[in-house]
């Protein structure tokens, strides 16, 4: 049984798609209104899926504190707690590009 659970855990870790099926954390669903899921959309907004969670979290923190200027992300990042931003960064990090 332990073996099976470990195997399933490995599947989850290795497969971003399984993670995608996991529930989106609070707020994450709204980001895809601007950050396209794929690269096929012609937009200057950078994609989030599959990027390193630390990189995403770092950027979100920088917007939140005002260290990094944006046209819009500062206003959005300020609406989330650090924990929420962390969960969102991890979730997007686990999405397939």
Partner 1 sequence: MRNRRDFLKTGVGVAATGLFPHVAIGQTASPKVVVIGGGFAGATCARMLKRLDPRIAITLVEQNPVFTACPFSNEVLAGLRDIKDQEFDYKKIVGDGVNLAVMAATGIDHQARTVSLSDGSTLAYDRLVVAPGVDFRWDALPGYTEAAAERMPHAWKAGAQTLLLRQHLEAMEDGGLVVIAAPANPYRCPPGPYERASLIAHYLKAKKPKSKIVILDTKDAFSKQKLFEEGWKALYPGLVEWVPLSQGGKVTSVEPASMTVATDFDKHKPAVANIIPPQKAGKIAELAGVADRTGWCPIDPLTFASTLQPNIHVIGDAAIAGAMPKSAFAANSQAKVCAAAVAKLLAGGTVAENKLVNTCYSLVAPDYGITVAGVYHPVNGQLVDVEGAGGTSPVNAPATTRALEASLANGWFKTITGEVFG
Residues that bind partner 1 (CB under 8 A): 8, 15, 17-18, 20-21, 23-24, 26-27, 29-45, 71-72, 75-80, 84, 96-97
List the one residue out of 46, 27, 3 whose CA is nearest residue 85: 27
User: Using CB distances below 5 to 8 A depending on partner kind, what does residue 56 bind out of partner 1, ligand HEC, none?
Assistant: ligand HEC
Cβ(26)–Cβ(87) under 8 Å?
A: yes
Contact flags string 44-83 toward ligand HEC, x per CB under 6 A: -xx-x-------x--xx---------xxxx--x-------
- What is the spatial distance between Cα 38 and Cα 9, in angstroms, rounded to a whole number? 26
């Amino acid at each position: 049984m332990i073996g099976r659970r470990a195997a399933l855990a490995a599947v989850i870790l290795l497969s971003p798609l399984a993670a995608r099926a996991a529930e989106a954390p609070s707020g994450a669903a709204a980001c895809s209104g601007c950050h396209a899921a794929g690269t096929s959309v012609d937009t200057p907004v950078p994609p989030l899926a599959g990027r390193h969670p630390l990189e995403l979290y770092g950027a979100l923190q920088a917007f939140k504190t005002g260290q990094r200027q944006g046209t819009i992300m500062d206003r959005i990042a300020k609406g989330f707690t650090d924990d929420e931003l962390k969960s969102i960064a991890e979730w997007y990090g686990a999405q397939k590009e």
